[in-house]
Amino acid sequence: MLRLWLDYEDLTRIRITPGLSPLAQTVLGAQALRACGPEPIPGAWRARTRARLTGPSRLLLELVPPGRWFPDFLTPYTRVPGIESELDAVASTPARRIRAELERSHGSRPPASWLPRLAGGDGETMRTLVRGLRDFHRAALADSWQDLGDHLCAEASRHARTMARDGIGGLLGSLHPAIRWTSPVLEVETLYDGDVRLGGRGLLLMPSVFVTGPRVLGSGAGPAVVVVPSSRPISGTGDTLPRVFGRTRAAVIRLVGADGELTTGTLAARLGVSAASASQHATALRGAGLLTSERRGKTVHHALTPLGERFLRGGPPE
């Protein structure tokens, strides 16, 4: 059991991210690819990704042992998430930190001959690893990144609505059965035990499709990151929304789910269609019980119904 101690400053710095840290999702995906237990992702994605991995991109698989802690320097916190900025942060990791985290993850006998060179601060080995991380991201996630982002935005919005309705305690107490909140401690059932006092660093909540249970990622001086299992596999491998509703109405569901609420005019602008067309799509989805619409002055605001949220998350319509 990992216990995160949150003081007043930490509680004021709780944030919910759509999970769009490309590198964190890539590393979690690599560990899921190696997992032998319950699969959070479809077999088709696993087979396609394995077939695309060549050369340096396979190095990541040797760094992320299944079912165990992996080195935190692979998932750095950056104020502006993006694959290149995150790779720059990895490349600048001090050798002493790399050594300590590799030993914690793999013990005194690393599973690959190149890992001691990485721990020793060899620049060429680090450049090869960075190239491999970039290649793995392209092979595993590039095709589905937009759909994955839409889904994770919707998941983050769902958590944000819970916090708006039930407060911080309500959010922290409802994230996952393996996460328990008893102020001032957030208990997380993870791969390792211990106590971590955040000391004002704050807490970042990030959904991911690549985990079946919660994870806690270290980030140096940045906030602690709690990864919460997402409710739907990667789009493009099991996404039924376009097949059921058509691409435009599926996009309406995703856009409204991501923001929590959108006006007809905003929907039209995001979809690249006229306001009349956006209104027609919203009317059809409202008739199907997936949207609610409320007029406020001169604008109409649309939000997902519980049924719409279940469709967005890939759950049964009930």
Q: Please state, in angstroms and rounded to a whole number, the distance separating the CA atoms of residues 172 and 186.
A: 8
Which residues touch 168 (CB under 8 Å, ≥6 apart)? 11, 14
pLDDT tens digits, 10-39: 999 999 987 668 899 999 999 888 875 555
Domain with CATH 1.10.10.10 in the chain: 241-312
Q: Please state, in angstroms and rounded to a whole number, the distance separating the CA atoms of residues 13 and 266.
A: 29
Q: Report the pLDDT value the prediction gives residue 231, as an integer from 0 to 100.
A: 65
More confident position, 318 or 212: 212
Task: Judge whether residue 112 has pLDDT over 80.
Answer: yes
The β-bridge relationship of strands 299-304 and 262-263 is: antiparallel
| Inter-residue long-range contacts of 294-299, CB under 8 Å, 24+ positions, other chains counted | 299/263, 299/264, 299/265
Percent over 90 (pLDDT), the chain: 38
Q: Report the pLDDT value the prediction gives residue 7, as an integer from 0 to 100.
A: 95
**Please, are residues 157 and 149 in contact by the beta-carbon 8 Å criterion?**
no
Q: Please state, in angstroms and rounded to a whole number, the distance separating the CA atoms of residues 260 and 267.
A: 12
pTM of the model as a whole? 0.71
Which residues touch 263 (CB under 8 Å, ≥6 apart)? 299, 300, 301, 302
pLDDT tens digits, 124-172: 999 999 999 999 999 988 877 777 777 787 788 888 888 989 999 999 9
**Please, are residues 283 and 275 in contact by the beta-carbon 8 Å criterion?**
no
- CATH 3.30.70.1450 assigned to 241-312: no
Give the CA angle between residues 39, 194, 190 to the nearest 5°. 10
